[in-house]
Chain A
Amino acid sequence: MNRRRFLTTTTMTATAMSLGLGKAAWAADPLKVAFMYVGPVGDMGWSFQHDQARLAVDAAFGEKVATSYVENVPEGPDAERVLTQMALAGNKLIFATSFGFMDAVMNVAAKFPDVRFEHATGYKRADNVATYDARFYEGRAVQGTIAGSMTKTNKIGYIGSFPIPEVVQGINAAFIHARKVNPNVEMKVVWAYSWFDPAKEADAATALIAEGVDVLMQHTDSTAPQAKAKDAGIISFGQASDMASFGPTPRVSSTIDNWAPYYVERVKAMLDGTWTSQGTWGGIGTGMVEIGVITDAVPADVKAEAEALIASIGAGTYHPFTGPLNKQDGSAWLAEGEVADDGVLSGMNFFVEGITAQMPQ
């Protein structure tokens, strides 16, 4: 974990806690639902989308629920403290919205068997811990198709946050589909080791641009790389949120995380008493992943190809990880026509053949 962030956020959460939880509910015993975010809700990306979904829960249930949130919670021991506070404050359903909260959620859930937990993008479950995730890689496949067709330098830059399955899936999916339309494409990867650090994300973007990339993808949460892409006159894709204000260029399309239907459904299950632990993995088909408008900066034929891909993924007729595919070291992974199973994907820790960047071990 980034220690700079740790210092700031440790202290910040202390106040955020007192503010968030001071909002005690007066209505006749509403269901208390808490949300824990890894970044600020103003990041205009990942945490922003989760908070939009929280507001959708408020709108859907009115006085029957009381939601609260704590933002800027670092992925570490502090997460456990925040979760404990949330449980002690009487929240019956708690959403923890970052991969790194996984062990904290499991530890706190064991201490509060009556409280239900929902952990985003993780893979550990218990009787009172459900997981949910979106198939962001479906959006990356679309972006890869556009990127591969539009790059002139044949170099695509990718700003990764941490080398975890969710991010690795995205890099692989983007690369596979870029290669499909352009066999000369290269992928340059820079790891920021942070979900949210605008200055570092901007520096990473600058480094990639200096390396000659003319398409920029990011799996970090701020819009800083978009600003750098705009200055450099290259194209980019909105991440987590639409980032439409950067269109028509550099942002030529985006992957939007739409958590609202899922959150509403799960809160409703709590109210109805039908909540059970489960693992949900939604994609374009279920609406959890949406593709933002493809702008006119994209040539019409490329746009048509991307839209056909969206349709086939949404209809379930095409899976972005369909063989033949080899791993980076050349060993066989998927045979012709074989589709990756969710177990392998959710633990994905290898690049596919053709990517030259090293996977941090």
Chain B
Amino acid sequence: MTLGGIDLVALAAMLMVASTPILLAAIGELIAEKAGVLNLGVEGMMIMGAIGAFAGAVITGSPAAGFAFGALAGAGMALIFGFLTQVLLSNQVATGLALTLFGLGLSALFGKGFEGVRPPATEKLDFGALADLPVLGPVLFRHDWVVYFSLAMVVAVWLFLHFSRSGLILRAVGENHEAAHALGYRVVAVRMAALAFGGALAGMGGAYLSLVRVPQWTEGMTAGAGWIALAIVVFASWRVERVLLGAYLFGGVTVLQLRLQAAGYAIPVQLLSMAPYVITIIVLVIISARHRHGAQAAPAALGKTFHASR
């Protein structure tokens, strides 16, 4: 199926690969922010996930173990952030920025021995006959497991936030930590758990970059993907289904503009180049504006410091 010389099926398949790192990081950040913590260290957690996964996969020879290491590295970074902001009550914005700087530097240090090394390949899942379906096969059934994992996480997080008691507690903590505390919920514990989850997903997003999408380790290789994930959470007004839309839109337009260039379309390259940012923001802002009903979209306690003595 081609349109204007571009194979739409191949494009859709590329889109899913290009979007997965941002999607994973954005879902993780969504949970952290829903619990009321603003963690600007996504970039730092992603890059630590990228090197952690790369090192883990190269040393053990197993990409799955690599992803586990990546998740652990991301979660570890998030717990440092959690300790500083939740226990020592440091400023979240400053600590988050510091976490990004720390992650970029530390990953460069750890990564010195891994430049130019090839990671073991992450195999595509085998769906048998399903993979041979026209159109649907290449788009849906010829990916590695992480793509499906990221989509499953979207569903799981949506169910968790809307239909589970713990999801309700998490949101309560994020909306009004004083009230949640008064009801007997352990605000700091909930937030630490949310942060660790967010860090693990950001780490897996970074891992996907270094193990699948690029695949190799290069210093600073996230190149701002963490900031995109942060922005998508805000523009998606903290709704997981919109995060999915935003991440796929961003990844999709990024891939599409490169394909349009390669195909030699006479569209100004500057326009194509800024299209992913502009289109993603416009679409998400329009959706958010239409559904707001006057309510504030951001969790009310987002970024506020909680201390139990008050």
Contacts and interface: CB of A to CB of B under 8 A. Distances in A.
Interface in A152-206: 157, 163, 188-191, 193-194, 196-200, 202-204, 206
A11 B255 contact: no
B264 A224 contact: no
Please classify how large the interface on chain B is, using the bins under 10, 10 to 19, 20 to 34, 35 or more: 35 or more
Interface in A205-249: 206-208, 210-211, 222-224, 227, 245-246
Nearest to A16: B105
A128 interface: no
Interface string A1-27: 011110110011011000000000000
Contact of B218 (A14, A188, A224): A224
Interface in B1-58: 7, 10, 14, 18, 21, 43
Contacts of B21: 199
A190 B262 contact: yes
A44 B258 contact: no
Given A7-B227, A189-B261, A190-B261, A72 B116 contact: no
Given A44-B115, A191-B273, A210-B259, A202 B214 contact: yes
Nearest to A221: B218
A40 interface: yes
A246 B117 CA distance: 10
A337 interface: no
Nearest to A204: B258
A239 B227 CA distance: 29
A199 B25 CA distance: 15
A191 B225 CA distance: 19
A15 B266 contact: no
B227 A4 contact: yes
Given A190-B258, A227-B214, A8 B220 contact: yes
B263 interface: yes
Contacts of B219: 40-43
Nearest to B254: A203
A193 B277 CA distance: 14
A5 B115 CA distance: 21
A278 interface: no
A274 interface: no
A21 to B, nearest CB: 16
Contact of A203 (B104, B112, B227, B255): B255
A356 interface: yes
B209 A199 contact: yes
A304 B100 CA distance: 50
A40 B108 contact: yes
B111 interface: yes
B64 to A, nearest CB: 20
A62 interface: no
Nearest to A356: B264
A331 interface: no
Contact of A197 (B118, B223, B263, B266): B223
B140 to A, nearest CB: 18
A245 B116 CA distance: 6
B309 interface: no
B224 A198 contact: no
Nearest to B256: A207
A315 interface: no
A224 B14 contact: no
A119 to B, nearest CB: 23
Nearest to A227: B216
A206 B14 contact: yes
Contacts of B220: 8, 39-40, 42-43, 72, 196
B268 A44 contact: no
Tell me which of B118, B213, B269 has the highest count of chain A C-beta atoms within 10 A of its own C-beta: B269
A3 B277 contact: yes
B61 to A, nearest CB: 18
Contacts of B223: 4-5, 8, 194, 196-200
A8 B43 contact: yes
23 contacts: A4-B224, A7-B224, A8-B43, A8-B220, A12-B104, A42-B115, A191-B273, A198-B218, A199-B209, A199-B214, A200-B223, A200-B258, A203-B213, A207-B259, A207-B262, A208-B262, A222-B221, A224-B214, A224-B216, A227-B118, A245-B116, A358-B266, A361-B268
Shortest beta-carbon contacts, A-B, top 7: A4-B224, A42-B219, A207-B258, A360-B269, A245-B116, A40-B219, A197-B223
Given A8-B220, A196-B220, A206-B258, 11 more contacts: A4-B224, A40-B218, A42-B112, A72-B220, A163-B269, A194-B223, A198-B214, A202-B213, A206-B14, A207-B262, A358-B264
Interface of A: 2-5, 7-8, 11-12, 14-15, 39-44, 72, 157, 163, 188-191, 193-194, 196-200, 202-204, 206-208, 210-211, 222-224, 227, 245-246, 356-358, 360-361
